[in-house]
Structure 1
Amino acid sequence: MKKDVFIIGFMLFALFFGAGNLIYPPTLGIDSGTSYWMAISGFIITGVGLPILAVAATSFVKNDARELADRVHPLFGLIFTSIVYLAIAPFFGIPRAATVGYEMSIEPFLGGGSTVALFIFTAIFFIFVFIVSLNPSQMVDHIGQYLTPLLLLAIVALSIGGILVLNTPLSTPSPTYESSPFFTGFVEGYLTMDAIAALAFGIVVVNAFKDRGITSRHNLVKATLKAGIVAGVGLTAVYTFLGWLGTQMTAQDSFTNGGEILSAAANVIFGNFGALLLGIIVTLACFTTSVGLVVAAGQFFTKITRFSYKWIISIVTLVSFLISNQGLDTIISFSVPVLTFIYPIAIVLILLTFMHKLFGGETGVYRGAILLTAIVSLYDGLVAFGLEMPTIASFMEKLPFFELGLGWLVPAVIGGLIGLMVSRNKGDLNTDS
């Protein structure tokens, strides 16, 4: 049992630790400066805490994340869960992982970008992703027993080297991190996609435990939570180090993204060998995450369509391959608005799952909370996409915590309370009649 918890926990760590997990903490570190510890604390809540809760939440249901969303309405469950899987898999998550893998493991040795090199790299990358994804049960052993330890060894080597070589005083934080470092880090944690990816990975973890003979609901929840803690400890340690690495690079140069920060840091610490070590870390991280997302999407869409699992993962890998060749900047520019929209909804859904018994599982609570959350997050997503809505903006800006990127928080609470009162009143009326 203990061995299975660690193996599956290592697998979950590797599934979470992908492109976004590599490129965002160093950017946070370099921007937050002396406010680093507050900023990384906020980042860890959304980048580690929420994903672990989401994985645990899926262990409460019999099938998958759709069952959680069905508590709002079956149609909402189908649409929202499909959007989540499409976003984290073929449209954004997997292509981002592949392009980050290319830009940080191949491009440094070429001296610049190359569309031909990107095409060749992604073609080979997705062939191997497809092969490993064909057998989900063996995926646990491949990743948990072999790839994750290799990934951790490479990260430890980079960490030790960084501690021994780098000792730069912390810089002055950027304006947003100076005024509200914790909440800025909290919102930055959205970009890892992990809380919504966890809705997909959760069922992979549950199925892995079922394959090992754990069938009772109590034991599944317990085992899943333990595996989540194993993954969470690893993620917290890695995020903290990668962020700290960013704080040490302020004097080196100006950077446009976290990938450049990591590449420069690896070069400072290990010279030319650093680029090779970082390339191993990035390729392994992006590969394991991509496999997990393909498997999760394959299992979900096989359930809701008449297509076989093999056909589904063939489509997912092909679409991911095509989108990945559009380049990282294009993928990120389209993913941020979508994530801004769906992330708060996912957070509210996860939290309501753990409070389900407190309000008796009233459907009205789910509907009220999700409806008002969706209205605010849709506005935020449209603004992130570049649409200006001055009339609506004047109202939205009055919401509590709006300037912190958490304007949806109070509406979610109000919506849930209204939904609870409406449900209770309906119950009273039905009782009277």
Structure 2
Amino acid sequence: MNKTKETFVFGFALFAGFFGAGNLILPPLLGFNSGADWWLVALGFIISATIIPMLALLAHANVQGTMYDFGKKVSPVFSLFFCFCIFLIVIALPAPRTAAVTHEMAIAPFFGTSSLLTSIVFFVLAFFFVINRNNVLNILGKYLTPIIVVILLIIIAIGIAFPAVEMHASTFELPVVSGLLEGYQTYDAIAGLLMGGVVLVSINNSKKTMSFKEKKVMIFKSGLIAMTGLFIIYAGLIAVGALHNSEFNEGISRADLLSGLASKTLGSTGSVFLSILVSLACFTTAVAIIVSVADFFKAYFKQYEKAYLVTAIICCMVGIGVGQMDVKYIIDIALPALMFIYPICIVLIVLNVIPEKWASSFVFRAVVLVAFIFSIPDFLGFLISAKELAGINKFIPLAKENLGWVLPAICTFVLVNLYESMIRKRTTQL
């Protein structure tokens, strides 16, 4: 396989790994609620669900290690704790959610079987793909992704070409911020940390010997292909949701809206096509998540030959247990966890992308610590009454928008770099 073809296969595989349950059901409802402001909501959504994940892939291209290497400059103990938090979240929330969405949108409407049965069959099939590790990206990139893309583009093209007569007004006070925070629910920033490692392992497992620079270029190009695809799909689904928002009842669920849009654009066969799309998108994401987690533990426990297999079994068992729950419930319980981990993820991604001269160990420690401290009110905001946090939030810029960590982290980055620059100048003068 030549490099260009291999890059596209990796790019399509990355797209398939990123594009799962949340990526399908979140954008249309965002558009539905945003009306004429859909492009502002899309801007915020794309920042957290496309640009930041692309930066995560670029960080992987720079680091060319595992996710453990992202936080090593803070401390090895912190990095290990961070990795375990990420893996706990993805195993317990987004991976099982793929089975839950598959059941609600692709199985229950046609067969009426139990969610437990769907979850069992879903993760048994996923397990067989996962243990066939060396062919995973090839299968995802060559066969499954093109099917997903074609069905989605047809729905988007018809939906935009034949809009409703009228459009309801936006329900968002801050459309960009609303889109940005909703993008957290796609888990794409976390997926960037995971999927970059999957691509890197796949490149290393290939028969070709590639230099550090060649791997960096391939990760960048394949990431650009994947993120371009996500950008088109996200913006398209948000636009379709907005253009047809007057045709659905207020308070419609995410799943029902997506089903309704599929029926309006593809007619009576829309539900069938949507079932195929949902099943494929969710399945590819579940496989990618489990592979990434198993890859990490295989690398970390090198002396234990069955680390990959045992990890895959545990992930699938957890998936079966949580995957039988309601989709809305899984989304709701995820919010506090995302508010806790996302600021740290974003900070680590950015610090691993920028030139090393501006990202010393001291910078890593200071910025991560400040981001964590100032994100605590955002995290607590989903657990306790907003009134109890009002006294704290009024002193923190952007706290009301659940982004109170952003400006303190940026200021810390600038101040620490200025301090280190002054120290270097003094040392040089002496």
Same fold (TM over 0.5): yes
Query: What is residue 407 of structure 2 aligned with on the other side?
Result: 410
Query: What is residue 124 of structure 2 aligned with on the other side?
Result: 127
**Matches of 2:44 and 2:292, distance apart in 1:** 28
What's the secondary structure of 1:219's corresponding residue?
Answer: helix
Instruction: Render the CA deviation track for 1:21-59: whole Å, top value 9, x for unaligned.
Output: 011111110111111112101211111111111012112
How many Å apart are 1:278 and its aligned residue? Answer: 0.6
Are 1:366 and 2:364 an aligned pair?
yes
How many Å apart are 1:424 and its aligned residue? Answer: 6.3
Distance 1:31 1:150, change over 3 A: same
Q: Which amino acid aligns with 1:222?
A: V
Aligned counterparts, 1:33-432, within 5 A: 33-88=35-90, 90-109=91-110, 117-176=114-173, 180-212=174-206, 213-252=208-247, 253-305=249-301, 306=304, 308-359=307-358, 361-384=359-382, 386-388=383-385, 390=387, 392-420=389-417
**Matches of 2:259 and 2:55, distance apart in 1:** 32
Is the Cα–Cα contact under 8 Å of residues 364 and 420 in structure 1 kept in the other structure? no
Instruction: Render the CA deviation track for 1:46-82: whole Å, top value 9, x for unaligned.
Output: 1111111101211222421210111111111000111
Give percent identity, aligned residues only.
31
Q: Which amino acid aligns with 1:133?
A: V
TM-score by length of 1: 0.91
**Matches of 1:257 and 1:304, distance apart in 2:** 41
**Matches of 2:44 and 2:76, distance apart in 1:** 33
Instruction: Render the CA deviation track for 1:288-329: whole Å, top value 9, x for unaligned.
Output: 000000000111123334452111100111111101123222
What's the secondary structure of 1:251's corresponding residue?
Answer: helix
What's the secondary structure of 1:400's corresponding residue?
Answer: coil
How many Å apart are 1:286 and its aligned residue? Answer: 0.3
What's the secondary structure of 2:62's corresponding residue?
Answer: coil
**Matches of 1:243 and 1:347, distance apart in 2:** 24
**Matches of 1:214 and 1:285, distance apart in 2:** 32
Q: Which amino acid aligns with 1:131?
A: F
Which shifted more, 57-66 or 335-344? 57-66
**Matches of 1:73 and 1:424, distance apart in 2:** 22
Distance 1:304 1:382, change over 3 A: farther
Q: Which amino acid aligns with 1:100?
A: V
Which shifted more, 318-327 or 2-11? 318-327
Is the Cα–Cα contact under 8 Å of residues 22 and 258 in structure 1 kept in the other structure? no
Is the Cα–Cα contact under 8 Å of residues 133 and 295 in structure 1 kept in the other structure? yes
Q: Which amino acid aligns with 1:91?
A: A
Is the Cα–Cα contact under 8 Å of residues 131 and 309 in structure 2 kept in the other structure? yes
Is the Cα–Cα contact under 8 Å of residues 366 and 419 in structure 1 kept in the other structure? no
**Matches of 2:236 and 2:420, distance apart in 1:** 47
**Matches of 1:296 and 1:281, distance apart in 2:** 23
Which shifted more, 255-264 or 280-289? 255-264
Distance 1:388 1:429, change over 3 A: farther
Instruction: Render the CA deviation track for 1:217-268: whole Å, top value 9, x for unaligned.
Output: 1111111110011001111111111111211332222244322111111122
What's the secondary structure of 2:298's corresponding residue?
Answer: helix
Distance 1:364 1:273, change over 3 A: same
**Matches of 1:95 and 1:168, distance apart in 2:** 39
Is the Cα–Cα contact under 8 Å of residues 58 and 203 in structure 1 kept in the other structure? yes
Is the Cα–Cα contact under 8 Å of residues 26 and 242 in structure 1 kept in the other structure? yes
How many Å apart are 1:336 and its aligned residue? Answer: 1.0
Which shifted more, 290-299 or 269-278? 269-278
How many Å apart are 1:426 and its aligned residue? Answer: 7.7
Instruction: Render the CA deviation track for 1:71-117: whole Å, top value 9, x for unaligned.
Output: 111111000111112212x210101111011111122235xxx6x52
How many Å apart are 1:428 and its aligned residue? Answer: 8.7
Structure 1: 5+ residue stretches without partners: none
**Matches of 2:389 and 2:246, distance apart in 1:** 42
Which shifted more, 329-338 or 75-84? 329-338
Distance 1:319 1:426, change over 3 A: farther
How many Å apart are 1:121 and its aligned residue? Answer: 1.2
TM-score by length of 2: 0.92
Instruction: Render the CA deviation track for 1:312-359: whole Å, top value 9, x for unaligned.
Output: 100111111101123222212221110111111111111111224242
How many Å apart are 1:410 and its aligned residue? Answer: 1.1
